[in-house]
C-alpha cells in the first residue's frame, strides 16, 4: 500500500522580497506624528485668530494648471514634476508640486470671489522629483496661507505678520525675513532686457543652467547657488532700480507696516521666487541652521495667476512653509516638542473585571484623560509585574489599578510612575469628575 500523500512535506511558499517606501517619500511614525499634530493644531488656532478658513484641494491636478501657472521654463515644470497620462482617457495629470495653483483653480472653478475676497489656508503633501537630502524630499508637506481678492499692501504685510506670529507661537528662533519687490510686468521686461545684456557680456562665467535660462528666464539666474557666478550676479542690474512710483510706494507701505509692528527684515534686491506667477512683494524667512536648505517659508503677491487659470482678474498674495524643515529646525534648536503619551495606564489583574473597568475608562476619556488599557496576552491579562512594566514603558504619568479589592470598594488605586514613583492614592469611582483633571495637570 502506498504511503498517503498527507504525509508529504508541504511545499514552502516562495519568500517575498521586502517592499520599502519610494526613495525620498518617508513614513511619519507615531513617535514623530505627535509633533506634526501639535504644529497643525497651533496653525489651526492661529489661522482662526486671523479669520483664515481651511481649503482642501486634490493631490492630482491637470498638468496644464502647473505649466500655465508656474511657467514652462521653471525647474519645477522642466525637471521635478511627477506627471503621467491617465490610462482611461489619456488626460495629462500631475501630482501637485505646490498648492497655490490648485487653490486658485478651486477659487475660480467655484466662483468663490463672487461675494468678495477670501482668506484661506491649507495643509498637505506635495511632490517633486528631486535628489533627496535633509530638508528636501520627494514627498514633502506644506502649510500655506492664501489671500485672494484684496489689492492693498496691508494684505502683503498681514500674511507676513501671520507667519511671524507663527514663529512666536511655536517658539522658532533665528529666522530672518528677507524682502524684495518684483514690480509689475512692464518693469520686469525692462529689467529683463538689461539682465540679458549684462549676462551676454559674461557668458564665459555662466554655467550651463544659466546659459539655458539666459533668454527664457534670466531673472532665475540671480537665484544661482554657483559660487563661481557670485561676482557677475552681484554686478547685475537690480530690479529695484527699474520700479516705478506705484510699485515703490507699495513696497514702502509694506515696510512701514512691518516697522510699526517691530518686525525686522532685510531688503534683498536679489531675492526671486521659483515660480513665474509672482509680482510686487516677495519674501522669504531664512535660517542658517539647515545647511543649503535655508528657506523655511516663502511667498509673495501673485496678481495675475487667477486670470492665467481662467478666472476674472483679481489680486492675490500668500506663502507656504515646509513642515519637515520647520520641525527639523525646532529640534535642532532644542525645542521641547510634544509626544503622544497617555496620561494614565489601566492595570486590570482580573479578566472578568474588564467589562466594568471599560465603563470607567470611557468615562475618564470623556473627561479628557488619555488612558491606555492593558491588552492581555494568551488566556489571561498578564501578571501585575508584566502590566506595571508595560505601564512604565508607555510613558504614562500614572497607573490606574483596578484590582479586585479596589473594585469591591468602588475605588481605584492611582500610582505615580514618574519622579521616582512610589506615591499612591485611592480615589472613589463615584467621584471621577472630582479627580480626573489631576491626571492631566501633572502629566
Q: Does 407 lie in the same domain as 368?
A: yes
Of the candidate ranges 66-75, 171-180, 247-256, the one whose mean pLDDT is the lowest: 66-75
Q: How confident is the model at residue 49 (pLDDT cuts 50, 70, 90)?
A: very high
Q: Can you read off the three cell numbers belonging to residue 368?
A: 479628557
pLDDT, residue 283, reads 96
Judge whether 173 lies within some domain: yes
Confidence of residue 359 (pLDDT cuts 50, 70, 90): very high
Task: Kindly state the DSSP code that residue 244 receives in the 8-state scheme.
Answer: -
- The domain boundary, picked from 301, 332, 363, lies at 332
Give the separation between CA 332 and CA 135, rounded to whole angstroms: 12
Task: Name the CA radius of gyration of the chain, rounded.
Answer: 29
Write out pLDDT tens, residues 216-272: 888 888 878 888 898 898 899 988 899 999 999 999 999 999 999 999 999 998 887
Per the domain annotation, does 393 fall within a domain?
Answer: yes
Range of the domain at 175: 30-183+243-332
pLDDT at 167: 97
Asked whether residue 221 is domain-assigned, the answer is no
pLDDT of residue 443: 43
In this structure, is residue 41 part of a structural domain? yes
Q: Is the pLDDT of residue 1 over 60?
A: no
Sign of CA dihedral 42, 53, 119, 305: positive
E strands, 275-382, in order: 279-286, 295-301, 316-322, 344-347, 371-373
Per the CB < 8 A criterion, the answer to whether 56 and 144 are in contact is no
Beta bridge partners of 345: 372, 399
Query: For all residues of the chain together, what is the average pLDDT?
Result: 89
- The span from the CA of 25 to the CA of 354, in Å, is 42
Query: Is 304 in contact with 137 (CB distance < 8 Å)?
Result: no
Q: Are 352 and 328 contained in the same domain?
A: no
> Rounded CA gap, 139 and 129, in Å?
8
Cell match 507615531: residue? 30
Residue 64 has pLDDT above 70, yes or no: yes
Report the distance separating Cα 40 and Cα 44, nearest Å. Answer: 6
| Greatest mean pLDDT range, 126-135, 146-155, 272-281, 394-403 | 146-155
pTM for the full model?
A: 0.85
Residues 6+ apart with CB under 8 A from 364: 344, 371, 432, 436, 439
pLDDT for res 323: 95
CATH at residue 60: 3.30.930.10
> Are 269 and 300 in a shared domain?
yes
Q: How does DSSP assign 75-142, residue by residue?
A: HIIIII-EEEE-TTT--EEEE-S-SHHHHHHHHHHTTTTTTS-EEEEEEEEEE-----BTTB-SEEEE
Does residue 339 fall inside a structural domain?
Answer: no
The full length of the chain comes to: 443
Amino acid at each position: 500500500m502506498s504511503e498517503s500523500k498527507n504525509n508529504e512535506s508541504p511545499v514552502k511558499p516562495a519568500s517575498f522580497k521586502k517592499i520599502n517606501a519610494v526613495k525620498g517619500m518617508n513614513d511619519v511614525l507615531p513617535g514623530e506624528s505627535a509633533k506634526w499634530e501639535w504644529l497643525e493644531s497651533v496653525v489651526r488656532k492661529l489661522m482662526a485668530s486671523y479669520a483664515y478658513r481651511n481649503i482642501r484641494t486634490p493631490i492630482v491636478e491637470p498638468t496644464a494648471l502647473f505649466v500655465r501657472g508656474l511657467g514652462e521654463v521653471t525647474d519645477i515644470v522642466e525637471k521635478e514634476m511627477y506627471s503621467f497620462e491617465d490610462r482611461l482617457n489619456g488626460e495629462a495629470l500631475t501630482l501637485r508640486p505646490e498648492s497655490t495653483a490648485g487653490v486658485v483653480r478651486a477659487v475660480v472653478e467655484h466662483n468663490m470671489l463672487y461675494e468678495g475676497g477670501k482668506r484661506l489656508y491649507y495643509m498637505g503633501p506635495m511632490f517633486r522629483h528631486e535628489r533627496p537630502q535633509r530638508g528636501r524630499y520627494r514627498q514633502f508637506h506644506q502649510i500655506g496661507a492664501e489671500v485672494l481678492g484684496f489689492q492693498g499692501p496691508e494684505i502683503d504685510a498681514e500674511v507676513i505678520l501671520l507667519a511671524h506670529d507663527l514663529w512666536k507661537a511655536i517658539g522658532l528662533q533665528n529666522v530672518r525675513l528677507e524682502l524684495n519687490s518684483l514690480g509689475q510686468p512692464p518693469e520686469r521686461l525692462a529689467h529683463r532686457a538689461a539682465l540679458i545684456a549684462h549676462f551676454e557680456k559674461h557668458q564665459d562665467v555662466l554655467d550651463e543652467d544659466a546659459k539655458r535660462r539666459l533668454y527664457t528666464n534670466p531673472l532665475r539666474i540671480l537665484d544661482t547657488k554657483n559660487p563661481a557666478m557670485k561676482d557677475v550676479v552681484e554686478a547685475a542690474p537690480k530690479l529695484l532700480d527699474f520700479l516705478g512710483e506705484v510699485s515703490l510706494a507699495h513696497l514702502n507701505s509694506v515696510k512701514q507696516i512691518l516697522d510699526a509692528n517691530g518686525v525686522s527684515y532685510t531688503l534683498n534686491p536679489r531675492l526671486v521666487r521659483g515660480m513665474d506667477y509672482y509680482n510686487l512683494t516677495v519674501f522669504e524667512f531664512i535660517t542658517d541652521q539647515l545647511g543649503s536648505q535655508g528657506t523655511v517659508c516663502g511667498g509673495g503677491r501673485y496678481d495675475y495667476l487667477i486670470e492665467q487659470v481662467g478666472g476674472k482678474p483679481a489680486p492675490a498674495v500668500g506663502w507656504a512653509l515646509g513642515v519637515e524643515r520647520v520641525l527639523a529646525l525646532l529640534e535642532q534648536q532644542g525645542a521641547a516638542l510634544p509626544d503622544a503619551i497617555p496620561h494614565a495606564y489601566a492595570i486590570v489583574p482580573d479578566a472578568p473585571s474588564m467589562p466594568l473597568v471599560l465603563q470607567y475608562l470611557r468615562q475618564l476619556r470623556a473627561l479628557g484623560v488619555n488612558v491606555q488599557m492593558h491588552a492581555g496576552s494568551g488566556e489571561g491579562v498578564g501578571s501585575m509585574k508584566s502590566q506595571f512594566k508595560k505601564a512604565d514603558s508607555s510613558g504614562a504619568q500614572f497607573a490606574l489599578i483596578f484590582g479586585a479589592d479596589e473594585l469591591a470598594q468602588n475605588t481605584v488605586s492611582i500610582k505615580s510612575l514618574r519622579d521616582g514613583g512610589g506615591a499612591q492614592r485611592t480615589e472613589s469611582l463615584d467621584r471621577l469628575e472630582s479627580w480626573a483633571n489631576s491626571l492631566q495637570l501633572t502629566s
